[in-house]
Structure formats: structure tokens, C-alpha cells
A and B are shown apart, each in its own frame.
Chain A
Amino acid sequence: MPIQTIILALLILPWLSAGLVALLPKKVQVHASILLAGLFTYLAFQVGHMPENITSYPWFSLGGKAIVASFWVTKSAQLLLLLVSIVAFFVQIFSKSYLAEDPNIGRYYSYLHLFIGSMTLLVLTDQIYIFYGAWELVGACSYLLISFWHQKEAAIKAAKKAFLLNRIGDIALLFGLVGLSQYFGTSVFSGMHGSAPAMIGIAVILGGIGKSAQFPLMSWLPDAMEGPTPASALIHAATMVAAGVFVGIRVFPFIGEEAHLFMGSIGAISLVSGAFFALFQNDIKKALAYSTISQLGLMWLGMGSSASLFHLYAHGLFKAGLFLTAGSVIHYLHHQKATHHADAQSLHNMGGLRKQLPLSFIAYLIFGAGMLGIPFTSGFYSKENIAGFLWDSAQHSAYANYYYVLLGALALGMGLTATYMCRQIYLIFLGQNRGGHSLEKSHNEWLQVIPISLLILLSLFCWISMNPMDAHHSVFLAFFHIENYHIPGFWLGITAGSWIVGLGITYLTRRWVPAKNYQFLGFIWPSAYRLAWYIGQQMQRFDARIVDRIVVKFTELQVVIAHLSAWTDRHLVDGSVRLIASTSRALGARLQTWQSAQLHRYWFWVFFTLVFILIYLLY
């Protein structure tokens, strides 16, 4: 197939799939959907080893300028496309078992395809308008998936919150993108070369904050965990939230160092605070959400360079794996008699699950190792690469010290990451069950085991490089144009130190489970919401009591004036006329007695003349 056909098919297929899945009879919906997702993955692999190219179609013209719908297959787009298609495919398989009893499973699969379609558009497009459009569309798909169980109050609130907090960022992105197109005089990314003013770059980066749940707009992501877990794995762990990183990658070559450092700083804050708050969650999904915030912060720390891209890919695979594994733990607890009515996501009902769920335990260990960046996982390379990028940038930059501060934040974040990850593994799988539940051994759900096992395989080192400690000469990195940054040997010591710190703290605090889910910056949303509501109420009061009242009073004034003038007319104007008339009639009667009848007509004319003079004078 020619390149254009494949790209077009890839762009259109998910939308058709979404419609088809929604309309098909219930029996075949899920199978058809998985089949279509498989076809999509096949196409994505076709695109995956294409040469870079741009395909454009005429779209519309505006003010004499032709706006084309153009699609740019870049290395970063290809890698993301692979990630999206692989994770989406696995999630679809996993969901068949996870949501088997849900009557609306067809709608769920339809939403998944909508999401895949929007994400493909986002990744492939070259045109800023389509980029912004796809950016909003993935947010809308996220809304639909979070509120999938729309009878759950918490779910629909979380969905709304996610959409609105995202939109705050979107507005900044809108102006950032328009600023870019204004500055470079083109509306396609591929036509932008040079260096844009820092403000424009920062606006674009601000735009990514909402989508990537970075500081300070992070609080929607933990709430979004109300959605089905496999969907969370796809959009709130691996792909959609990474869109914020992707926009950084797209604009990396032309936004200038200040904007890069701004992105890195936001990332550093999110890395540390996200990892810190992951320690204080007793809901395993919420802990993973904070972990995602933190890991996205790590990608932001890469400032949109190829180091960011690398970690985006590696993290996408093992985080999706973690979520699916957590999902299978939740699924298992939910279907146990002892814990059916207990909170299946709470750490209070877990502990010692290694006996019942040995496979999940192993999976969690390996994915966790990826999070920690332990050798033999892809996470090791990607994490070291970000440190290498920071070190490398510091060597030839006027802001060298700033880069070292960011490196310090990275070290701190790694220590915290190791801590929460080890603690989570301990609290779920080791020790004894804290709820005192007697649980049966699980019978493996193959539709859950297979995707998780494949994700484990993909998270290992061998795809990147055969040398577990060093990714030089990596075919993978070379193909995707990912630079392998060199980091001095001492950094490995810091990395190892972070593992020891993590294990040590875990051992010391192993008996402590957080009493509740603590929120970071949780107050922002309720107060913003309340403020908007309050202003709305006040404005409405103003509208009804002042603006409308003025108009009504003004109209009423007219009525009063009308009555006044009617009164004047009746009593003064007409009255004086009547006075004159009656006087003249009396006079006339007197005169008539001694004058001819002709005089009567004469007086009639006098009377009229007087009336006209009066009217003339009064008006």
C-alpha cells in the first residue's frame, strides 16, 4: 500500500470502528472491537517503519490563505503511535474480562475507539488547528470514559473536573499555538524553524500542564481514577496524559531555552510532589495516579527532548502494565466473597496477596523495577538518559546551575519514587491481609494474564539494547533518533542510593497505612468552582435587580409621564378650553338674547382659534 493510503486508513479507521462497535449487536461488539483494534495496531506498525514524510490534503481557505490538513510522520509520532496501538490493543483484550458483566460494554469499547482516533490525530497532525482540535477531543474522550459509570456521583463529578481543569490549560495552548503560527507565519509545525519568543513557548508549555496533570493543575488525575481501570491504564497512565509531553516534544526545536527550563521546573515540582503524595494514598489506583503525575514530571524534566520521548515510551508500557495488574487485583478482590462488599481498591483490605495472586505479584515486581529504573528494565535506560540530558545541557549553557538544581530534584524524586513503589508492593503483596479476610486462590483470567505478560516482556531491556547497563549502539534508539546522553559514573551511585533509601524507608514504615487519601492542592478545584458559582449568582442578581430593573423603571417612567400628560390634557388643556367654552356659552346665551343667530357661528370660530393657540403654546 502507498504511504498516503496507510496514513489515511489509520486516521479514519478508529472513527469508523467507534460507530460500527456502537451499532453492532451486543453479541459481537467486543470481538469486532478487538479485531478492529488489532487491525489498527497492524496499520500503526506499518506507519512505524515508514520514512519521515508529510501528507497533506486541502481543507479550507481563510482570508486568502489555504489551510491544509497535513499529517507529519515523525520519529516521535511513530513511537507514540506504536505505544498507543500496543497499549490500546492490550487494554481492549483485558477489558473483555474486566468488564464482562457490564451491560454497556459496547459503549465502553466505542469510547475506546473514539479515544484512539483522537490520539492518532493528535500524534500525526502537522497542522496547529487540527492539533488543538485533537487535543480537546482526547480530553472529551477522557470525559466520556471517566463518566462511563454515569450513575456514580463521584465519577461524573471527576469527569467534569477533569474536563474543566484541562480546559484551563487548553486556553493557554490555544494562544501559544496561534502565537507560534503568527510568529513563524505558518500554521504547520513542519514549517517552523528558528527560535520563538520565550512568552509564546511558555504559553504552549502552560497548555500542556492541564493535560499532563502537572503542577498546579494536577488534582483531576487522582479523581479520574473513578473510571474503569483498563481505561485509566490507557488514557490516564500511558497515552493521553503524555500528550502534554508530546506537545513539548513537538515544539522543542523552536521554543528557546527559557521555555525549556520552565518546562523542566514544572516537571521537577510535579516529580517531587507527585511522588511525595503517592506515599499518602490508601487507594492503590490513586497512588498510581500520583505516581503517574510524578513520572510525567520526570518526562517534563526532559524538557521535550528525545530523552523525554524515550521515557514517555518506556513509562507508557510499564505504567499501563502496573495499572492493568492493579486492575486484576481489584477485579480479584471484587469477585471474592469475603471482600465483595469491601472497598476493593483500599490498601486496608490488602496485604499478603502474593499467596493468592503470585502472577500479579511477579508482574508488579517487574513493573515496579521499571519505575525504579533498575537495570534489565527499559526504565533504567530512559531514566539515566534524562539525567544524562540534564548533565549534558548543563555543560554548555548559561543556566548551568539551574540544571544542577533540576538534577538534585531528580535525585530527590527518585528516592521518593523508590519509597512509594516499594511500599506499595509491600502493602499489597507481602505481610498478612490487614482486613482479616480469608481469600481463595485465584483462578487465572487468561484475558488478563496475557496482556500483562506481554507488557512485562516489552518492559524488559532487550528491546532497547543487549547490554543491560548501557544503551549505546542501540538499534531502537538509533531508529527513533533518540540521543543517548552520557552521564558520569557517580550518578549511578545516586541511583543505587535511591533504591536503598526506598527499601530502607519501606522497611521502617511497613506497619503504617495512610488513613485516607491525602490530596495535593486539592483545594484549588472546589474554591475555583465555588468562586465561579458565586460570581454567577452575583451577576445574575445584578442582571435581574439592576440592568433589567433600570429598563423596567424607565418604561414605567414613561407610563407615569403618560398619565401625567393625560391628566394635564384632561384638566388643564381641556379644562381651560371647557372653561372658555362654558364662559363663552354663558356669554353667548346672554348675547344671543340681543344679537342675531349669526353670531353663534362667529363665537364658534373664536373658540377654535383659541384652542389652537393654546395647543400651540403648550406643545
Chain B
Amino acid sequence: MGNLSYIILLPLIASLVVGFGKLGASYARLIAIVVAGIQLLILAKIALVFDPAQAGFQSTESFDWIHLNLGSLGHFVSHYSLGVDGLSIGLILLTGLVSFVALWNSQDIHEKIEGYYALVLLLNASLMGCFLARDMFLFYVFFEFMLLPMYFLIGIWGGPRRNYASLKFFIYTLVGSLFILIVMLGIALAYMDPYETALSLQKLGINQGFGIEALQSMQTALAAHEIAPNQIVHSFDLQVLSDPKNCQPNNLFSPQSGFLLGGLSGRAWGFWLLFIGFAIKLPLVPLHTWLPDAHVEAPTPISVLLAGVLLKIGAYGWLRMAIPFFPTEAVDAASIMAGLGVLSIIYGAYNALAMTDLKKLVAYSSVSHMGFVLVGIASFTPEGWQGAIFQLLSHGILSSLLFLMVGVLYSRTGNRQIDNFSGLASKMPWFTVVSGIAIFASLGLPGFSGFIGEFFSLMGAFTSTHLTPIYAILGGLGILLGAGYLLWTFQKIYLGNYFVRESTWELPDLTLLEKFSLFGLGILSIIFGIFPGIIFELSEIFVTNSLNLIFH
């Protein structure tokens, strides 16, 4: 057991303690925040020992988990294996941070408090598991498990239409994970784990190393039908699944299979199913309609977690699974991906422009901003990928900030209609300053993190050899629209003469608690905006390595 396991186990155990310990509300909150704090410390330790120059997974842990004999189909093996690399390091740090902020700002939850904190901790554990798993089956378990706390958090502590929203969220995500499940089982059955197979065929001693030659000899043996199907050991190891040479010949997932269904090869089907499965999570237009509902109904801290971390799993899934598993198919789909990304950017921005509910506006702005991630990924250039990963982290920070901003208004008035507020600058100067930071950072003002992510995603798309520049130019239109709706919001709510709809609404300025988290996030955004190298350095090797594998 190493640090990575502690990251998952700590909130899991704390969740059980809080949920069933009958400790009382104030202890629940205290324990939750302390646990999130300790988790942040462990994360900091992991980040400090993380070596950005090293390719592949670090701080790895692996235990045997499931062995299953499938008779004529061979054996199934699944490991509890964790690891962190350039892609996940940023995301786990983000998860830790956003969870802490969400728990910190949960003081407005007044009913079933123990249950609430237990579920948030559970959610944190499963999110961490998603980002740390090196085994697709393990990932899938965490991925599915995440639905449970989220469903109850929206369904119990949500707004008036919480049942509708939580069910919609649940069904949507379930459909997505069904697609992922199909591909996961299909590809795992099609692929051989060379190491495990060698082990079970006793071609390898227990303590003998498994070098590149051994790997190649296993792969040639597989291609030459020298290994009987019932001897093959299948696993869900991400690395195994990322090498098409591990695929059994004649299988529909084999590059040479010649299988066609509706004009698409088996591998293309695999790619698209995975792509759609994760696209629902991102969410990508037109699979996004669960998001505004879920956000509007979710309590503020849950919105923060949802936008800050959950959405990132979609892009993480693409970068970790969909693209490495099916690299050629992904590159072939670059134009369609970029088109969908641009559609999300523009469609989300236009919809945000039409919103009268501040929280819905922020939700649609998330759709728009996540579109940049896809455009960056579709470019298949280092700039685009780095930009996309940067955008994930930057959006994690900024969307948290924006949702907290909405929460500040909502907790004071119980209302979020943009028309109901005006000229808050004169009553809430601190709130206005931090909202100004959030809004200017989100519209991509240089000096803030939002700019770097959008800029390099678009630049990647512009210079990519796989895309025509039109996608980048249309994406640029999204930047313009983004400035439009965000400045409109800023003007309506904060500037002008002071006005609120109900005279009974009192709007005291930020409390110390709120200042701490809101300004903290704002300052973080500025730091990353001025020194983007902090994040670029972490993900650089991952990006160059992944792109090398795609185009080797």
C-alpha cells in the first residue's frame, strides 16, 4: 500500500465513519474538511516526488484482484493497479483542491449533514480512483460507482426539480458507461496480456524480467496463431490495451480483420463508442442536456465538484483510453472531433447568451469551454494537447470559482435570476472584485489561466496538419461570444445602480470563509496564467510520448 491507495482509502474510510458513526453534524464537517486537508497534503507529497522527466506511470501499486477462467475464451485477469503520470497528476491535484473547496463551502447544507459529508467523501474517493486506475476494469468500477453519491447528492440536497435532474444525470451517464462497458469487454477479450500469458504458459519465471524481446516474441507468437485461444490471458491493463499488436488476429478489433459494419471497421466502432461514452461526461453537444438541469438543481458545492472535476473525466477518458486504444481511428476522426468541439464552443456560448438564470449561464459556459478541450485534442499537436490539458485544469479552477460566485448570491437571496440584481459593486466590493477576476479569467483575458488553455488549444488546431484552419477560426468566434455573455453578466449584475428585486434581500459582502476560497482560486488562476510552465512541465512528457505512440 502506497500513497496512492491512501488517497482513495482515506476518504472512503472517513465516509463510512461519518456516515455510520453517529458523530453529529459539526464533527462530520470537521472530519470531512480535515480528511480533505490531509488528502491535499498527501497529494502535495506525491506531486513533490513526481518526476516530470520520466515517461509512464510513477508511484505505481499493483495487487492481484480477479482471476477468472473463461474456458475456451482463455483467462481474465484484473489487477488493482494504480499509478500517476503527467496526465493524471494535474487532475488528482485538481480533484483534491476542488473537493476541499467544495467541502469548505458546504456550510449552507442544513439537513442530513452527516449523510451529505459522507457522500461527498465517497464521491471524492471514486473520482480519485478514476484518475489513478491503471486497469480499465478498476477504472470502470470507480467510474460507475461515482454515479451513486452524485445521484443522491443531487436527489436529496438539490433544488425543486431535483428528482428529475438526478434521474436524468443518472440515466445519461449510465448510457455512456454502457458504451464504455461494451468496448471494454470487447477489447479485453480481443487482446492478450503478453506478460500474464507468458506467465501462465510458464515461459517466464516469476522473478524474471519481461523485456521488449520477450514482448515481441509473445506478439509474434500470437500473430502466428501459436497460442491457443484458451491459453490466452486477457487483462484490462491500460498499457496492454494500448498496443494493437496484442490483438488476436481475425478478431474484429484487429487492424487486419476486414470487418465492416455500416462502413466502419470494428476498431472504428470501438473508438466511436468509447468517444461517445466519454463525450456524455464532458459533455459534448448534443449530449449535454443533462448538465444544465443537474447544475441548476445541485447545491453549490456539488455544482463545483460536478463542473470542476466530473466533466474532466470525459476528456481524461479520451486521452487515456479512446485515443491510445484506437490511435489510427482517432486521427482519422480528427476533423469530426474538431467539428464537434467547435459546435460545442459556439452552441454553448450562444445558449449561455440567452440564459436568464446565472447558474444555467455558467453551466452552458462550461459546455463552451470544454469544447476547446476537444478542439485541442483533435489537433493532435503538442500545443493542442498541452493546451487541452491546461484547459482542463484551468476550467476546473475557474468553473469552481464561477459556481461559488453563483452560490454567494443564492445563499443570500435564494435567487439567481440575472435580472433581479444590478449594481452590486457598490454594496459588495470584495465580491465584485473576485467576480471580476472570475469573469475576466473565464473570458480568456491574458494573465489568467483561461487564456493559456484556449490560446494553445486553438493554436494547436490552427497549425495542425490534420485539420484545416477553419476550425480554429470558428473557435475564435467562441472567444468573442464568451466575452459577450460574460461581460453582459458582469454589467448587469455588478455595474449600474444598486437594485435587487425584493427589498428584503440583504446582501452582506463576502464572509472571511468565502473570501478565503474565492480569492484562493482567483490567485491560483493568475499564477497559472503567468507561469503556465508549472502545468506544461507536468504534462509535457505524457503529451510527446502519447503523440509519438500515435504517429510512430
Binding site for B on A (CB under 8 A): 59-64, 129, 132-134, 136-137, 140, 143, 147, 150-151, 153, 156-157, 159-160, 163-164, 167-168, 171, 174-175, 178-179, 182, 532-533, 535-537, 539-540, 543, 547-548, 551, 555
Is the C-beta of B159 less than 8 angstroms from some C-beta in chain A?
no
Judge whether B491 and A547 touch: CB under 8 Å. no
User: Chain B 518-534, CB within 8 Å of chain A: the 1/0 string?
Assistant: 00000000000001110
Contact with A171, one of B446, B479, B536 (Cβ below 8 angstroms): B479
Is the C-beta of B458 less than 8 angstroms from some C-beta in chain A?
yes
Judge whether A536 and B353 touch: CB under 8 Å. yes
A157 to chain B: which residues have CB within 8 Å?
Answer: 491
Which residue of chain B has its CB nearest to the CB of A139?
Answer: B445
Which residue of chain B has its CB nearest to the CB of A529?
Answer: B484
A147 to chain B: which residues have CB within 8 Å?
Answer: 491, 495
List 13 additional contacts besides A175-B469, A536-B354; criterion CB under 8 Å.
A60-B532, A63-B543, A136-B444, A150-B495, A156-B491, A160-B491, A175-B472, A182-B463, A533-B354, A536-B352, A547-B285, A547-B289, A548-B289
A133 to chain B: which residues have CB within 8 Å?
Answer: 446-447, 451
Judge whether A150 and B469 touch: CB under 8 Å. no
Judge whether A532 and B353 touch: CB under 8 Å. yes
Judge whether B536 and A167 touch: CB under 8 Å. no
Judge whether A535 and B350 touch: CB under 8 Å. yes
Judge whether B481 and A532 touch: CB under 8 Å. yes
A178 to chain B: which residues have CB within 8 Å?
Answer: 459, 462-463
Judge whether A151 and B382 touch: CB under 8 Å. no
Is the C-beta of B331 less than 8 angstroms from some C-beta in chain A?
no
B473 to chain A: which residues have CB within 8 Å?
Answer: 171, 175
Which residue of chain A has its CB nearest to the CB of B477?
Answer: A171
Residues of B457-476 whose CB lies within 8 A of A? 458-459, 462-463, 469, 472-473, 476
Binding site for A on B (CB under 8 A): 168, 171-172, 285-286, 288-289, 347, 350-355, 381-383, 386, 423, 425-426, 440, 444-447, 451, 455-456, 458-459, 462-463, 469, 472-473, 476-477, 479-481, 483-485, 487-488, 491, 494-497, 531-533, 536-537, 540, 543-544
Known: A61-B533, A63-B383, A178-B462. Contact between A539 and B350, CB under 8 A?
A: yes
Known: A61-B540, A133-B447, A151-B423. Contact between A537 and B458, CB under 8 A?
A: no
B495 to chain A: which residues have CB within 8 Å?
Answer: 147, 150-151, 156
A sample of 20 inter-chain contacts (CB < 8 A) reads: A62-B386, A62-B456, A63-B540, A134-B446, A137-B445, A137-B446, A140-B440, A140-B445, A147-B491, A147-B495, A150-B423, A150-B495, A156-B495, A171-B473, A182-B462, A536-B350, A540-B355, A543-B347, A547-B288, A551-B172
A551 to chain B: which residues have CB within 8 Å?
Answer: 168, 172, 289
Judge whether B480 and A137 touch: CB under 8 Å. no
A555 to chain B: which residues have CB within 8 Å?
Answer: 171
> For the complex, what is the distance from the CA of A171 to the CA of B482, rounded to whole Å?
13
Judge whether A164 and B483 touch: CB under 8 Å. yes
**Highest count of chain A CB atoms <10 Å: which of B423, B494, B533:** B533
Which residue of chain B has its CB nearest to the CB of A539?
Answer: B350
Main secondary structure of the interface of B (DSSP, over half): helix
CB distance from B286 to the nearest CB of A (A): 5
> For the complex, what is the distance from the CA of A171 to the CA of B543, rounded to whole Å?
27
Judge whether B382 and A62 touch: CB under 8 Å. yes
> For the complex, what is the distance from the CA of A150 to the CA of B492, rounded to whole Å?
11
CB distance from B434 to the nearest CB of A (A): 14
Judge whether A543 and B479 touch: CB under 8 Å. no
Known: A153-B496, A163-B483, A537-B354. Contact between A137 and B447, CB under 8 A?
A: yes
Contact with A536, one of B351, B458, B497, B544 (Cβ below 8 angstroms): B351
Which residue of chain A has its CB nearest to the CB of B433?
Answer: A22
CB distance from B523 to the nearest CB of A (A): 12
> For the complex, what is the distance from the CA of A347 to the CA of B468, rounded to whole Å?
54
Known: A63-B544, A133-B446. Contact between A150 and B459, CB under 8 A?
A: no
Which residue of chain A has its CB nearest to the CB of B382?
Answer: A63
Judge whether A61 and B536 touch: CB under 8 Å. yes
> For the complex, what is the distance from the CA of A168 to the CA of B258, rounded to whole Å?
49
Which residue of chain A has its CB nearest to the CB of B492?
Answer: A156
Known: A535-B350, A539-B354. Contact between A547 and B484, CB under 8 A?
A: no
CB distance from A44 to the nearest CB of B (A): 22
> For the complex, what is the distance from the CA of A579 to the CA of B140, rounded to whole Å?
46
B491 to chain A: which residues have CB within 8 Å?
Answer: 147, 156-157, 159-160
CB distance from A145 to the nearest CB of B (A): 13
Contact with A167, one of B347, B386, B463, B483 (Cβ below 8 angstroms): B483
CB distance from A220 to the nearest CB of B (A): 13
Judge whether B351 and A539 touch: CB under 8 Å. yes
B455 to chain A: which residues have CB within 8 Å?
Answer: 129, 132, 174
CB distance from A177 to the nearest CB of B (A): 10
A536 to chain B: which residues have CB within 8 Å?
Answer: 350-354, 485
CB distance from A124 to the nearest CB of B (A): 15
Contact with B425, one of A150, A167, A535 (Cβ below 8 angstroms): A150
Which residue of chain A has its CB nearest to the CB of B460?
Answer: A63
CB distance from B226 to the nearest CB of A (A): 40
> For the complex, what is the distance from the CA of A134 to the CA of B472, rounded to whole Å?
21
A535 to chain B: which residues have CB within 8 Å?
Answer: 350, 353
Which residue of chain A has its CB nearest to the CB of B293?
Answer: A548
A548 to chain B: which residues have CB within 8 Å?
Answer: 289
Known: A137-B447, A532-B353. Contact between A64 and B477, CB under 8 A?
A: no
> For the complex, what is the distance from the CA of A178 to the CA of B464, rounded to whole Å?
12
**Highest count of chain A CB atoms <10 Å: which of B347, B354, B444, B477:** B354
Which residue of chain B has its CB nearest to the CB of A548?
Answer: B289
> For the complex, what is the distance from the CA of A182 to the CA of B531, rounded to whole Å?
23
B458 to chain A: which residues have CB within 8 Å?
Answer: 174
Judge whether B531 and A60 touch: CB under 8 Å. yes
Which residue of chain A has its CB nearest to the CB of B454?
Answer: A174
Which residue of chain A has its CB nearest to the CB of B476?
Answer: A171
CB distance from B319 to the nearest CB of A (A): 15
> For the complex, what is the distance from the CA of A143 to the CA of B440, rounded to whole Å?
11
B459 to chain A: which residues have CB within 8 Å?
Answer: 178
B479 to chain A: which residues have CB within 8 Å?
Answer: 167, 171
A134 to chain B: which residues have CB within 8 Å?
Answer: 446
> For the complex, what is the distance from the CA of A150 to the CA of B487, rounded to whole Å?
13
B426 to chain A: which residues have CB within 8 Å?
Answer: 151
> For the complex, what is the distance from the CA of A167 to the CA of B440, rounded to whole Å?
13
Q: Please list the 3 inter-chain residue pairs (A to B) with the smallest Cβ-Cβ separation, ordered nearest first.
A: A63-B382, A60-B533, A133-B446
> For the complex, what is the distance from the CA of A159 to the CA of B485, rounded to whole Å?
14
A539 to chain B: which residues have CB within 8 Å?
Answer: 347, 350-351, 354
CB distance from A105 to the nearest CB of B (A): 15
Judge whether A533 and B353 touch: CB under 8 Å. yes
B351 to chain A: which residues have CB within 8 Å?
Answer: 536, 539-540, 543
A151 to chain B: which residues have CB within 8 Å?
Answer: 423, 426, 495-497
Contact with B487, one of A61, A132, A160, A174 (Cβ below 8 angstroms): A160
Judge whether B533 and A64 touch: CB under 8 Å. no
CB distance from A106 to the nearest CB of B (A): 12
Judge whether A62 and B531 touch: CB under 8 Å. no
> For the complex, what is the distance from the CA of A61 to the CA of B171, rounded to whole Å?
42
B463 to chain A: which residues have CB within 8 Å?
Answer: 178, 182
A543 to chain B: which residues have CB within 8 Å?
Answer: 289, 347, 351
Judge whether B487 and A163 touch: CB under 8 Å. yes
Which residue of chain A has its CB nearest to the CB of B451?
Answer: A133
CB distance from B349 to the nearest CB of A (A): 8
Judge whether B488 and A160 touch: CB under 8 Å. yes
